[in-house]
Amino acid sequence: MTNTDSKPVVGISSCVLGEKVRYDGGHKRSAFVTDKLSEFIRFAPACPEMGIGMPVPRPTIHIREIGQQQRLTDSRDAQVDHTDKMQAYFSARLPQLSQLDGYILAAKSPSCGMERIKVYTPEGELLHRKGQGIFVQMLKQQFPDLPMEEDGRLNDEGLRESFITRIFAYHDFRRQVLNTLSVRALVDFHSRNKMLVMAYSPQAYQALGRLVAGAKGHEETISKQYLTLMMRALSKPTNRRKHTNVLMHLQGYFKKQLDKADKQELCEQIDKYRLGYVPLMAPVTLLRHHLKKYPNDYLQQQRYLQPYPEALGLRA
Ligand code: SF4
């Protein structure tokens, strides 16, 4: 079904893996990351602050808005500015960063935090809490489509499922499409991911189809546009209604093969899922069971039926 034979490589703030690299000598170990994800994902840990030569423990740093720029400075002394070093560190790591399929970031850090980071005036007064860590700013600018998520947000089931789905889709896209940049590869990828995208955004599903149809002669540009659009679609929350639509669509492929009792059982499972009585895994398992009995090439390759390793248990 889904090709998960090689593990995605995901960058991660070292402290989230449990390394004692924080300013106070502590860590921010995430049990989900170390106990669950590590079996299916290869991590590329890095601590940007240690990467620019800061020790553990170290003086606290924060972001100051100076003129039009945001600078990473010592929290007690604006003259101690680490921004250029961080830029040089980021540039030196670009070859490794460009091989990643996602990034897990530590929340609240002026280097790694993805959102709601405090930003101060040049004098050290709090200006607002709408900043992004300096390292993350660089990461987002260079790799706008790369799936990124903060450690704390991975405790939310919906955000977690969307993030893991994006990591595996991005991984597949990099290997299957960006490596070859052929229309054939793009068409095949689109075919495998139709139901998955539909479960997040029927509009994006249509728009991606139009992109693929016009890819000949513009393979590189269209592939990049495709990735951007798909990643945007998969990062929006989905819901039971959209999943139910896809399940009913898949059910339609078995119209001729299933007898009355099997049809009724499948209908009931989909309806129970729609009403919130059973998890998504229930109707999906039944569909996969029928698929084994009545093979169908198109359905068997659908990433929707297994967007990531089942043992992660995200649909249960
Ligand atoms: S948040 Fe980032 S910079 Fe801070 S300790 Fe963790 S990895 Fe290092």
Q: How far is the CA of 157 from the centre of ligand 1 (A)?
A: 24
Q: How far is the CA of 125 from the centre of ligand 1 (A)?
A: 23
The number of beta carbons lying within 10 Å of the beta carbon of residue 150 is 26
Question: Atom 5, ligand 1: which residue's CA is nearest?
Answer: 22
Asked whether 21 lines ligand 1 (CB < 6 A), one says yes
The number of beta carbons lying within 10 Å of the beta carbon of residue 218 is 12
Asked whether 41 lines ligand 1 (CB < 6 A), one says no
Closest atom of ligand 1 to 112 CA is 2
Closest atom of ligand 1 to 45 CA is 7
- In DSSP terms, 28 is beta-bridged to none
Q: What is the pLDDT of residue 130?
A: 97
Q: What is the pLDDT of residue 5?
A: 53
Q: How far is the CA of 108 from the centre of ligand 1 (A)?
A: 10
Asked whether 196 lines ligand 1 (CB < 6 A), one says no
Contact 217, 182 (CB under 8 A): no
Asked whether 47 lines ligand 1 (CB < 6 A), one says yes
Per-residue pLDDT in tens (0 to 9) along the chain, 316 residues: 444 458 999 999 999 999 999 999 999 999 999 999 999 999 999 999 999 999 999 999 999 999 999 999 999 999 999 999 999 999 999 999 999 999 999 999 999 999 999 999 999 999 999 999 999 999 999 999 999 999 999 999 889 999 999 999 999 999 999 999 999 999 999 999 999 999 999 999 999 999 999 999 999 999 999 999 999 999 998 999 999 999 999 999 999 999 999 999 999 999 999 999 999 999 999 999 999 999 999 999 999 999 999 999 888 8
Contact 228, 254 (CB under 8 A): no
Closest atom of ligand 1 to 50 CA is 8
Asked whether 137 lines ligand 1 (CB < 6 A), one says no
